[in-house]
Structure 1
Amino acid sequence: MKLTSVYPVLMARDVAAAAAFYRDVLGFETTFEADWYVSLRQGLWELALLDPDHPTIPEGFRGSPAGGVLLNLEVADVDTVYQDLTARGVEVALPLRSEDFGQRHFIVRGPDGVLIDVITPIPPQGEYVEQFADAATPVDG
């Protein structure tokens, strides 16, 4: 199989409200919008939202929103994004901090229990340095 695109589709109880969050808070733009499905894009990155009761969802899987998902968004300057989102009143689930495994990040609560981890890679510390493949080791920007 040769992929031409990969993007998450999150099932959202209120597709319009979820789309507004991703547009207004995270800067995505709408590329397609129906009452049951919204496709969003920011640069090369895509995200879609789908009503969990839509008939395209197989029976037995319908009705469940996207809770339990952690969506990682890497940015150039996590400190600036943190200041912006907290000033706008976005609910922070994990405050800004640096991790020895190579991330400076914070987590906000998105629609339907989705957690959004906003990350800037930083050099790993201690035991984590050797756990990265050479080409994948985060370095200072």
Structure 2
Amino acid sequence: MRVTRITTNLPVADIDAAKVFYTDFLGLSAEEFNLGWVARYTSPETGAHVQLVTHDATAPEDSAISVHVDDVDAAHDAAVRAGYAVVHPLTTESWGVRRFFVRAPDGTVVNVVAHHD
């Protein structure tokens, strides 16, 4: 498994209300996606990005970060072998990702994710 990107998941009450600050003020003007409960905004010049999350649509807990990997199944197997708590099972989601949530030893919930074909 190789980590390809890490995205901060910022909890917000309202994505549309928060969007102006991140897009206009910080210049993260490209909306990569917006599912209503989660949206990602990126700087077209630098690739810097942030993900705004009101709540997770299918998981029992919200995650602090999303770690994008090249092989999510291998990552899941490694987490289970290491004895880490999987708090959302390995799932292929309707919006085009395969993911699971794992709790780090410090308590942080991490969304481990890959786009599936």
Instruction: Give the TM-score normalised by the residue count of structure 2.
Output: 0.44
Give the number of the structure whose alpha-carbon radius of gyration is greater: 1
Q: Which of the pair is proportionally richer in strand?
A: 2
- Higher RCO structure, 1 or 2 (CA under 8 Å, sep 6+): 2
